[in-house]
Chains A and B, each alone.
Chain A
């Protein structure tokens, strides 16, 4: 019985964190959904974590010239603002368009060359100290 209480205690501690990242993933997927209708294929994988206000995370990725990519970020925190932008290996802004709507944001890149690009995600506003985010991408 005691063991059950301990397990329930752990579950209570862990569950909100899991729910939060799952909700952030759901937000990111809802942001990218519009591109599925345009023929983009969403990679069945996601990247995420939590960031403080104005804190950035860089995710390097090999992108191929000839593909057309959309990267989207979402957060589960109401009233949060997130941003996503893409830079090439020299640190030059590489995206062809981007948008930002509250806790959702997206950036499109048509690589001019194959190589490493940096996806920079950032929490630009949030009522919380740490904001959970998730990123997904699609290509065609």
Chain B
């Protein structure tokens, strides 16, 4: 009887709350320091399109001027390919902003080639075909979605292949090229609102921790080591109030890191 009554009360309360559309009012403030670590997830790495979506609203930078031509033929170890793959996808976003059809199509083909080189070609084939097709018709919203999707699919495929470390490098490569572009754009017409987009200390820490937690074989890879040192240089700049000087310095460091990825240095 008690059991039935309990079920009735639960069902009635659920029904009333469901119909009303309101749940309990959330607390206005919570103490995040008391959150148990077991109930704290890894930080979500934003997609490049989340950053470019904001950059769209900041005016009309000269995107053609920001375009680079990454050399995907110059491939080395899997670590370099993973970093390069991430940075090439980010380059795709710059090409979309520049509405450069030829470059976007080339980037679609480059993504496929790099994915093939690390054994995840089949996961991105449909996406890269879409990128090439939709670039022709100038459907930039769709191309952006497919670039985001390609990045997510590649990372998920790597995690399934027990290669989560490489997936982190893909994210890092994308973040570095995205940050290089972001700082270049912010530098051109500095405003505190635009510079605020670089307020990503936890994301930077996340990448640092992922690199530090890699097995020694990967950590000792010269390029991964170079990435670690670069992030260490960026860290104090991002962890303080951003100024035109610090934005310029972050741009230089990320630019050098992206160059190192391209040249396998």
List residues of chain A with CB under 8 Å of any chain B CB. Answer: 41, 43-45, 47, 55-67, 79, 81, 83, 85, 87, 89-93, 95, 98-102, 105, 113-116, 118, 120, 124-125, 127, 139-140
Contact = CB atoms under 8 A, between A and B. Distances in A.
B54 A64 contact: yes
Given A41-B49, A57-B41, A65 B23 contact: no
Given A62-B43, A114-B196, A125-B17, 14 more contacts: A47-B44, A59-B44, A60-B202, A62-B202, A62-B203, A66-B53, A79-B10, A81-B14, A87-B32, A102-B18, A113-B199, A125-B13, A125-B14, A139-B53
A28 B141 CA distance: 23
Given A81-B23, A125-B13, A113 B196 contact: yes
Interface of B: 7, 10-11, 13-14, 17-18, 21-24, 26-32, 35, 39-47, 49-51, 53-54, 57-58, 141, 145, 148-149, 152, 193, 196-203
A35 to B, nearest CB: 15
A74 B199 CA distance: 30
Nearest to B193: A65
B91 to A, nearest CB: 20
Contacts of A64: 46, 50-51, 53-54, 197
Contacts of A79: 10-11, 14
Contacts of B35: 56, 58
B185 to A, nearest CB: 13
A65 B127 CA distance: 29
A91 B29 contact: yes
A129 to B, nearest CB: 14
Contacts of A41: 49, 53, 141, 145
Closest 6 CB pairs of A and B: A100-B23, A66-B54, A102-B18, A61-B44, A85-B26, A116-B202
**A-side binding surface: helix, strand, loop or mixed?**
strand
A110 B2 CA distance: 46
A102 to B, nearest CB: 4
Nearest to A120: B30
Contacts, number: 132
Contacts of A58: 32, 35, 39-41
B22 A114 contact: no
**B-side binding surface: helix, strand, loop or mixed?**
helix
A47 B24 CA distance: 23
Nearest to B155: A45
Nearest to A78: B14
A139 B23 contact: no
Contact of A116 (B17, B26, B43, B51): B43
A83 B26 contact: yes
B126 to A, nearest CB: 13
14 contacts: A43-B148, A61-B44, A64-B46, A65-B193, A65-B197, A83-B24, A90-B32, A92-B28, A93-B26, A93-B29, A116-B201, A116-B202, A116-B203, A118-B32
Contacts of B53: 41, 64, 66-67, 139-140
Contact of A62 (B7, B11, B17, B44): B44
B29 A55 contact: no
Nearest to A139: B50
Contacts of B49: 41
Given A58-B39, A93-B26, A44 B149 contact: yes
Contacts of B31: 91
B10 A127 contact: yes
Contacts of A56: 35, 39
Given A62-B46, A99-B22, A113-B196, A93 B17 contact: no
Given A61-B46, A66-B57, A102-B17, A114 B200 contact: yes
